[in-house]
Each structure stands twice: as C-alpha cells, then as structure tokens.
Amino acid sequence: MECAYRFRFYPTPEQADLLNRTFGCVRVVYNRARALREAAWAERKERCGFKQTNAMLTALKKLPGFAWLNAVSSVPLQQALRHLDTAYRNFFQRHARSPQFRRKDGPQSAEFTKSAFRYRDGTLTLAKMAEPLAVVWSRALPSAPSTVTVTREADGRWYVSCRVITHAEPLTGGAEVGIDLGLKDLAVLSTGEKIANPRHLAKRRKRLIREQRRLARKQKGSKNRAKARLKVARAYAAVRHARHDFLHKLSRRLVNENQVIAVENLSVRGMLKAKRHSRSIADAGWGELIRMLTYKAAWYGRTLVKIDRFYPSTKTCGTCGTTGHTLTLADRDWTCPDCGAHHDRDHNAARNILAAGLAVAACGEGVSLGVLRHSGQSSVKQEPAP
C-alpha cells in the first residue's frame, strides 16, 4: 500500500530562499496553464491537456523575461501541470469543482519526483541544493520515498511529506461496531461507549476572534499586518492539528479493535449547506473521520460498511425492529410503543447501524433488510475496501 509520512524540517536561509522561489514559479506556471486551458475552451472549444501546457512551459522558459524559471528545479513545475491535469479530469467527471487559481498567501507546495531528490542513509537532499534538509525524522521511513512534497504552511512552518510503499499486516480477530455520529457526543458506539466531542474550534474561538480583530486593524502592506496574519494562521493551525491528532487516534483505535465497522454515509457536503450547524459539523470532523476509517480499514483488512444516510437508524427500535417512530431532536431517550423497550436515542441508532452493516457485510451488495422495508425509499450500500 502507498502512504505518506509527514515530517517537519528547518531550512537554512539559502534553502528557504530557493524553495520560496520554487513556490513562486510553481504558482506562476500553474496559473498560466490554467488560464491557457480556460481560454482554449472558452474561445475555441478546445481541450488543452498536459502536453500543450508543457509546451507552453518550454516556450515560457525561453522568453527573456522568464529566465528565472530556469533557476529552480523543473520537476515541481511539471508536477504542477500534472496536478492541474488531474484536477480538470476530476472536474469534467463531476467529482470536483473547477481548479482555482493558486494564491500567494495560502499554503505553498512543490512536489519532487525521484529524479529531483536524493535519499541516502537517512538524509534527504533536493535538486539544486548542496546540503540535505534538516528533517526531524520522528519515525523511520519503511523504504525510500517515491515522491517528496515540500510545504510551507500559512503559519510559516515547513513540512516534507514522503510517499512510500509499505506492507501492512492485516489484522485479525476483533469485535464489530456501529457508530452514530453526532454533535453533543462526536460518536456513540453500539457498545454504549460515548466519545465526547472535543470541539477544537469552539474552544479556541475566543483567541481566533481576538487575533482576527487585531489583524483587521492593521494597515495594509505593513509589517505589523504580516505579523498579525501569521498569528491568525498559527491559531488556525493549532485547531487543525488538535483535530487531526484526535481523529487519527480515534480511527486507529476503532480499526484496531474491530473486524467490522459500520457508519452512516453522511453527505457532509450537503449538511455544510445547512447553515445552522455547519460550523459545528466541520469542527467535529465527521467527513475527516470517515475518510481516515476508510483508508485505515483498507490497509488492515477490516470491513468498513457505509450505510445509506436515508436509513432511519434513529426511528427504528433496535429490539423489535419496528420503524417510523416519531422522535424530536430533544428526545434523548424514548420507549418503544410496540415492545416497551427503553432506548438511549444515540445508542439505539448505533446498534441499528451495526445491524444494518452486519447484514450488508454478510450478504454483499443489494441486500434488502427487514427493518428497511417499512421505509420504501431506503437502500443499503456497501463500499468494498479497495
């Protein structure tokens, strides 16, 4: 399997200068290629691919005003054109929105393939650099990387991401779990365990608002404004890192402990449009958690079942299977009128998600569940591990 190891590193002033110039070149080449593709389509209804944009790059490098493009490694520039090509393919297949222009004030990155770096005896040296990067190798790389991506985050920190091939031993044994995602508790498991929502953003909101207000008062283009912007970026990075760390640990634990994991296939994108809870939902990181569960389950040979989000997991009684019970959002617990079982709302939902997930895992795709027949429109989909 392929995965990426990310490390922090500290560039020398010369390395930082070269990398910053590389980012600038990547941005210019990417944005010009994007403009070329847009124009080709708008004016002549022509599809313009990697080949044409690469020819544009070659021509651009020969122009007297663009000689500086030759001072950096050509690999990240070509990689940027490849990424643009992929972005357009995804756009045409309606998987993503159209590629946006690269901005100067966001995170910057450059990708180096094998011909543009040297990895030897635990040191990493990039093209056109004399010295290896001062990388904080927090863990050992399992093999030499195939690709290396250098990033300068908006908060000014530098990272290098190494793509490597590793072989994960499939895990065996373990239990089965259904997960109900929520806002009060981030997750309620079918075992009855509740995982509190850490609310990373909510906790740090005060600091963020304060820093943003300070930034707004600074004069445009001033040094103090640049400093204030860095502080805002740092505050956001702290939130992002805390959330990421928490979700990594949670997903890893769930995959370690369970052979089958069932979750609702939430349309988080759709829910983000529902303005009222959008900030809380994004802060909880449901989408990120499901993404991590998906690839970690695939790595370790676990079965992840995504239940269609129209499946009435909340309204169904987990004991007798009757469905269509009316519950308001305020009902944290309820008693089934048909069998008299008393349920904790989220625990019951998690148990139903597990039951639906197990049925899918046992029968494969296209299964029809007894509890689902009541609702008519529902179906259960399984996404097999790739």
User: Catalytic positions, please?
Assistant: 180, 264, 346
State both tokens at 244: 């990421």
Which residue type, as a one-letter code, is found at position 105? D
Please identify, using beta-carbon distances, which residue of 194 and 315 lies nearer to Zn ion.
Answer: 315
Please identify, using beta-carbon distances, which residue of 244 and 325 lies nearer to Zn ion.
Answer: 325
> Residue 349, interface with Zn ion (CB under 5 A)?
no
As measured in angstroms, the least distance from the Cβ of 260 to Zn ion is: 24
**Angstrom distance (rounded) from CA 58 to CA 68:** 13
**Beta-carbon count within 10 A of 365 CB:** 11
> Residue 113, interface with Zn ion (CB under 5 A)?
no
> Residue 338, interface with Zn ion (CB under 5 A)?
yes
SS (H, E, C) 197-260: CCCHHHHHHHHHHHHHHHHHHCCCCCHHHHHHHHHHHHHHHHHHHHHHHHHHHHHHHHHHHEEE
> Residue 17, interface with Zn ion (CB under 5 A)?
no
**Angstrom distance (rounded) from CA 251 to CA 245:** 10
Please identify, using beta-carbon distances, which residue of 317 and 360 lies nearer to Zn ion.
Answer: 317
As measured in angstroms, the least distance from the Cβ of 370 to Zn ion is: 13
Pick the stretch among 68-76, 187-195, 249-257, 339-347 that binds Zn ion (CB under 5 A): 339-347
How many chain residues interact with Zn ion (CB under 5 A)? 7
As measured in angstroms, the least distance from the Cβ of 264 to Zn ion is: 21
Using CB under 5 A, pick the residue from 265, 319, 375, 379 that binds Zn ion.
319
Please identify, using beta-carbon distances, which residue of 252 and 325 lies nearer to Zn ion.
Answer: 325
> Residue 31, interface with Zn ion (CB under 5 A)?
no
Q: Pairing between strand 185-189 and 303-308?
A: unpaired
> Residue 371, interface with Zn ion (CB under 5 A)?
no
CB 205 within 8 A of CB 197: no
**Angstrom distance (rounded) from CA 235 to CA 199:** 15
Please identify, using beta-carbon distances, which residue of 226 and 320 lies nearer to Zn ion.
Answer: 320
State both tokens at 47: 């599809």
Pick the stretch among 61-69, 113-121, 319-327, 354-362 that binds Zn ion (CB under 5 A): 319-327
Please identify, using beta-carbon distances, which residue of 268 and 372 lies nearer to Zn ion.
Answer: 372
Please identify, using beta-carbon distances, which residue of 221 and 337 lies nearer to Zn ion.
Answer: 337
Which positions ≥6 away from 114 have C-beta within 8 Å? 146, 147
> Residue 312, interface with Zn ion (CB under 5 A)?
no
How would you label 320-329 residue by residue, b for 16+ Cβ within 10 Å and e otherwise?
ebebebeeee
Using CB under 5 A, pick the residue from 162, 317, 350, 356 that binds Zn ion.
317
Using CB under 5 A, pick the residue from 75, 250, 263, 336 that binds Zn ion.
336
> Residue 370, interface with Zn ion (CB under 5 A)?
no
> Residue 16, interface with Zn ion (CB under 5 A)?
no
Pick the stretch among 45-53, 70-78, 335-343, 358-366 that binds Zn ion (CB under 5 A): 335-343
Three-state DSSP class for residue 56: helix
Pick the stretch among 81-89, 150-158, 202-210, 320-328 that binds Zn ion (CB under 5 A): 320-328
46 half-sphere exposure, CB direction, 13 A CA radius = 10
Pick the stretch among 83-91, 241-249, 253-261, 309-317 that binds Zn ion (CB under 5 A): 309-317
As measured in angstroms, the least distance from the Cβ of 262 to Zn ion is: 20
Q: How far is CA 44 from CA 38, 40, 97, in A?
A: 10, 5, 22
The string of DSSP letters for 57-123 reads: HHHHHHSGGGGGGGGS-HHHHHHHHHHHHHHHHHHHTTSSPPPPPPPSSS-EEEEEEGGGEEEETTE
For binding to Zn ion (CB under 5 A), which residues are involved? 317, 319-320, 336, 338-339, 341
